[in-house]
Amino acid sequence: MYLDIAMELTVGFFTLLLVLKFLGKIQFSQITPFDFITGLVMGNFVGDAVFDDKIDITEIVFTIVFWGLLIYCVEKLTQKFIVFRIWFEGEPALLIKNGEILYNSLKKNHIDLNQLQQQMRKQGYFSIYEAEYVILERDGQISVSPKHDYGAPTKKDLNIPKKQVSLPFALIMDGKLISGNLMEAGLTEEWLKEQLTNKNISDYKEVLYAEWHENNGLKISEYN
């Protein structure tokens, strides 16, 4: 019995993993109500099947794969047709426009003023009147466009000279070299070993984390 449960869980786990890989990261990154339901049902398929003796492994795989294909078809429809996108995923809604609270929009989206205040505080705005526009996004989060007096100044506003933007590269993590990042950064392993030697580090295993940035150079954290 326990062996059967372990096998079904293992097969269900990897089948779910493959289906989610197939659907893509966006499907469950910023989740919409439709995504939440589909993910919940998919997980329940495995959970319910494990403790049902009448369901074998092939039925679990078929159920998950078929459900995944349905989700895939819906995703393709939402990408191609706006009407399906609105139907399955909803659409953004204005809650505040030109500094005015849109009561009917709040009511339609089942949001009270306390919830609006809470969401705005999470964005760093502690007064409703600091917002020029507030948009309720499809995933239930809000986006705030502040009034001129409350908006953070940009580098352009402050006349800060433009600098080239570059990404940091993690070169060592948990004592292991990340060769792909080393190549992407245009560096060599010989250069890295030389840098470690200069800090009396003889092996990657001594390094918890090492990061290289074009502007900041190499930074190293050893195991304590």
134 and 198 belong to one structural domain: no
Residues 69-100 have pLDDT tens digits of 877 887 788 778 877 777 776 788 999 999 99
> Across the chain, how many H-helices and E-strands are there?
9, 8
Asked whether residue 164 is assigned to any structural domain, the reply reads no
Asked whether residue 161 is assigned to any structural domain, the reply reads no
Asked whether residue 60 is assigned to any structural domain, the reply reads yes
18 and 78 belong to one structural domain: yes
Q: What is the pTM (predicted TM-score) of this model?
A: 0.59
**In angstroms, what CA-CA distances link 88 with 20, 133, 138, 159, 202?**
19, 25, 10, 45, 56
Convert 2-32 into a string of H (helix), E (strand) and C (coil): HHHHHHHHHHHHHHHHHHHHHHCCHHHHCCC
93-97 and 100-101 as β-strands: parallel, antiparallel, unpaired? antiparallel
pLDDT of 102 reads 95
Question: 119 is in which domain, residue-wise?
Answer: 93-150
Q: What is the mean pLDDT of the chain?
A: 82
Q: Are 37 and 7 in contact (CB under 8 A)?
A: no
55 and 112 belong to one structural domain: no
Residue 101 identity (one-letter amino acid): I
Residues 112-143 have pLDDT tens digits of 999 999 999 999 999 999 999 999 988 788 99
Token pair, residue 195, equals 């840098």
CA 210 to chain centre: 24
Half-sphere exposure of 200 (CA within 13 A, CB side): 0
Which parts of the chain have pLDDT scores under 70?
1-2, 4-5, 8-9, 11-14, 16-17, 19-43, 45-53, 55-56, 89
Q: Give the dihedral sign, CA 46/47/50/51.
A: negative
